[in-house]
């Protein structure tokens, strides 16, 4: 049986796992954005804090994903086996590209433009919202795109701690020594990653053109 036949025969489960997969990515991206955007804005112009925050996010990034999932299982409240642990770990991975692109994007906005905005009497909130964020948007979106693609990939490993998603097929296939089952998870996961990359890339370009 080829991977395609397996996919067609098990389309209900593949569909359900895909939805689960997207749900994990969406939940972790939501957390990463909720933390990463404000924190990324807050560290602009504060060199010491920025080094510390980006450094920490960098260290998290270097932990192998399976190890990070493992580390988090014994942690009370967020830990345990299942989706919540996976979402926390995925959010930690997504944090670095969002943080660094938000802060560099804003820091790279032409200082003359920011100074004119302040000098014309915009409040700090108005400068951020009407000037810095729109001008940093392409860089910021590039960070979100990298984080999303990264997250879709690492989510396949989350199946190892019982979080579900398309990784379930991959681990099952490995256990069964059955390539068709592995591919039935791997190919849709790769497709999701490429689709997200292309869609966010197009969005990025439409923003940059405006």
Partner 1 sequence: MTYRLRSGASIISGLNLQVPPGETLVLLGRSGSGKTTVLKLINRLLEPTEGEIFVAGRPSRSWDPIQLRRGIGYVIQDAGLFPHWTVERNIALVPRLERWPEERAQARVREMMSLVGLPPEEFAGRRPSALSGGQKQRVGVARALAADPPILLMDEPFGALDPITRADLQKEFRALATRLQKTIVFVTHDVREALFLGTRIALLNQGRLVGVYAPAEFLKATEPEIHEFVASLEAGGLREEAQ
The residues of the shown chain that bind partner 1, judged by CB under 8 A, are 110, 112-113, 115-123, 126, 130-131, 134-135, 210
Tell me whether residue 47 or residue 120 sits nearer to partner 1 (CB atom). 120
Tell me whether residue 76 or residue 121 sits nearer to partner 1 (CB atom). 121
Give the residue among 194, 175, 173 at the shortest CA–CA distance from 185: 173
Output the smallest distance, CB 119 to partner 1, in A: 4
Tell me whether residue 5 or residue 110 sits nearer to partner 1 (CB atom). 110
Output the smallest distance, CB 37 to partner 1, in A: 19
Output the smallest distance, CB 74 to partner 1, in A: 48
Tell me whether residue 11 or residue 130 sits nearer to partner 1 (CB atom). 130
């Amino acid at each position: 049986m080829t991977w395609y036949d397996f996919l067609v025969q098990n389309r209900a489960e593949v569909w359900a796992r895909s939805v689960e997969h997207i749900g994990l990515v969406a939940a972790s991206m939501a957390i990463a954005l909720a933390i990463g955007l404000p924190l990324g804005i807050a560290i602009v112009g504060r060199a010491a804090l920025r080094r510390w925050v980006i450094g920490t996010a960098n260290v998290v990034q270097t932990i192998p994903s399976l190890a990070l999932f493992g580390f988090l299982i014994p942690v009370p409240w967020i830990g345990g086996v299942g989706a919540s642990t996976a979402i926390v770990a995925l959010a930690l991975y997504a944090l670095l590209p969002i943080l660094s692109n938000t802060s560099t994007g804003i820091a790279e906005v032409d200082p003359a433009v920011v100074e004119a905005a302040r000098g014309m009497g915009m409040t700090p909130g108005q400068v951020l919202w009407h000037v810095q964020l729109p001008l940093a948007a392409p860089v910021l979106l590039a960070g979100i795109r990298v984080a999303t693609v990264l997250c879709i990939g690492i989510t396949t490993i989350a199946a190892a701690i019982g979080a579900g998603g398309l990784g379930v097929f991959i681990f099952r296939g490995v256990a069964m020594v059955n390539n068709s089952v592995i591919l039935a998870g791997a190919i849709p996961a790769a497709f999701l990653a490429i689709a997200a990359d292309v869609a966010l890339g197009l969005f990025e370009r439409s923003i940059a053109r405006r």
